[in-house]
Structure 1
Amino acid sequence: MPFNRLHVPQALAIETCHAINACLHASLVATCGVNPDDDFCLISRHPPGEMICHPTFLGRRDPGSTVIIEITLLAGRSDAQKEALYKDVRSRLAEIGFDPANSIVFLTENKPIDWSFSEAGSVKSVLGL
């Protein structure tokens, strides 16, 4: 159950933001076994100057066009799954015409106790984990 957060330049079209999240979600389903219904995303827009992205750190990018893709998900994916996710996301970004070089992706993992979707409590208690 991932929660995606897209940090994007303010001028990026909302349709592009939705397309980027669709790419990300499809990649999570394909590479990390995420349930197709677990699609949650928050888009955070930043005006010029509020996103600082080095133009050449571990690859070339256009700092003014870079998106930062933040994924929080349950722990348990292998390093191979994570590498496959990164590769698949970038491949899908290229397919929609977004330069994958202008993407930074990172994961934060947690446990079922760290999620709650209703008054029933944590995912851990609801699912009896």
Structure 2
Amino acid sequence: MPFVRIDLGKQYPDGVAQQVGDIVYQAMIHHINVPPDDKFQVITKHDADELVIPKSYLGIEYSPGIIFIQVTLNEGRSTELKKKFYKVICDGLVEKLQIRPEDIVINLVEVNKENWSFGHGEMQYAPKN
């Protein structure tokens, strides 16, 4: 169960934020083995002063159009799988929404399966004794 947070500026037109979420969701299903209907996302649009970024980092120049994508998911996927996941998201955002590839920042946070509760205060992924 990935939990996705997407943060972007309010300058984007209505519907773009949801399209970003859909592109991320499709990449999760097709490239990191997430089952269908496993779509938990929080998408937040921010005023310009709420997204603090450097002019550049690691030789990459950023713009006010930056989009932050953070995915919390179960640990265990290979580095190669993660690289492909990043690339698919970037390519999709560039192709479908004309987002600058420099402005796509993706962060994965890997957790143990017992760090999830899907409701009822229960640990659904806990090993059954």
1:120 Cα deviation from its structure 2 partner = 6.2
Q: CA shift at 1:17, angstroms? A: 0.5
TM (norm. structure 1) is 0.89
Q: Counterpart in 2 of 1:47? A: 47
* Structure 2 Cα separation of the partners of residues 6 and 120 of structure 1: 26
| Counterpart residue type for residue 105 of structure 2 | I
Stretches of 4+ moved more than 4 A in 1? none
Counting matched residue pairs gives 127
- Paired with 1:128 and 1:31, the residues of 2 have a C-alpha distance of 28
SS across alignment from 1:36: coil
User: Aligned partners of 2:40, 2:53: CA distance in 1, in Å?
Assistant: 25
Aligned to 2:104: 103
Aligned counterpart, 2:10? 10
Which residue of the partner structure matches residue 72 of structure 1?
Answer: 72
Partner letter of residue 114 of structure 1? N
CA RMSD, 1 decimal: 1.7
Give structure 2 stretches of 5+ with no counterpart.
none
Q: Counterpart of 1:103 in structure 2: which amino acid?
A: I
1: CA distance, partners of 2:74 / 2:121: 19
Provide Cα deviations, 1:14-67, integer angstroms capped at 9, x if missing partner. Answer: 4100111111111111211111211111012221111112232131221x1101
Relative to the length of structure 2, the TM-score reads 0.89
Judged with a 3 Å threshold, the aligned counterparts in structure 2 of structure 1 residues 11 and 110 are, in CA distance, closer, same or farther, namely same
Corresponding letter in the other structure for 1:8: L
Matches of 1:35 and 1:17 in 2, distance apart? 22
Contact 2:21–2:43, Cα closer than 8 Å, also in 1:
no
Q: Deviation of residue 119 (structure 1)?
A: 1.2
Following the alignment from structure 1 to structure 2, what is the Cα–Cα distance between the partners of residues 15 and 83? 27
The CA deviation string for residues 53-112 of structure 1, in whole angstroms up to 9 with x for no partner, is 2232131221x1101001100111111111111111101111212222211000101122
**Aligned position for 2:35:** 35
Distance in 2, matches of 1:32 and 1:55, equals 32
